[in-house]
Amino acid sequence: MADTGTSPAPESSRAGSSPLPERDQRILEFERTWWTHAGAKEQAIRSEFGLSAARYYQLVNALLDSPVALAFDPMLIRRLQRVRDTRTAARAARLLPPGE
């Protein structure tokens, strides 16, 4: 039977052969498992990456629009895109005057 290309890549195929830079891979892995870290997410971001939370989220948002990141972890990227889209829509709804 031919492979249709729709099944996700196994975990072992992600590391080493991905065109995604190592830092970006680490960021995606962190987003996948950040709740397992002790303390606040912002503290974990600073200790893990040495970045401010604002800079970290800029990098995450750039990854959400990256086809390479989508190929690396499609389920995570799509989930994070949905979260971003929901927050953007909620923010826009708050900015619109009533009745529009």
pLDDT, tens digit (0-9, with 9 covering 90-100), for 41-97: 999 999 999 999 999 999 999 999 999 999 999 999 999 999 999 999 998 888 877
Q: How many residues does the chain have?
A: 100
CA nearest neighbour of 21 among 42, 43, 49:
49
Average pLDDT, integer, range 17-46: 89
pLDDT for residue 37? 73
Residue 34, domain member (yes or no): yes
pLDDT at position 16: 54
* Tally of structural domains, the chain: 1
pTM above 0.75, yes or no: no
In a domain, 1, yes or no: no
Range of the domain at 33: 20-95
Residue 31: inside a domain:
yes
Asked if residues 44 and 50 have their Cβ atoms less than 8 Å apart, the reply is no
- The answer to whether residue 67 sits within a structural domain is yes
Considering only the C-alpha atoms of the chain, give the largest distance between any 2 of them, rounded to a whole number of Å: 56
Task: Return the pLDDT at 95.
Answer: 81
Return contacts of 18-21, CB within 8 angstroms, 24+ apart: 18/68, 18/72, 19/68, 20/66, 20/68, 20/69, 20/72
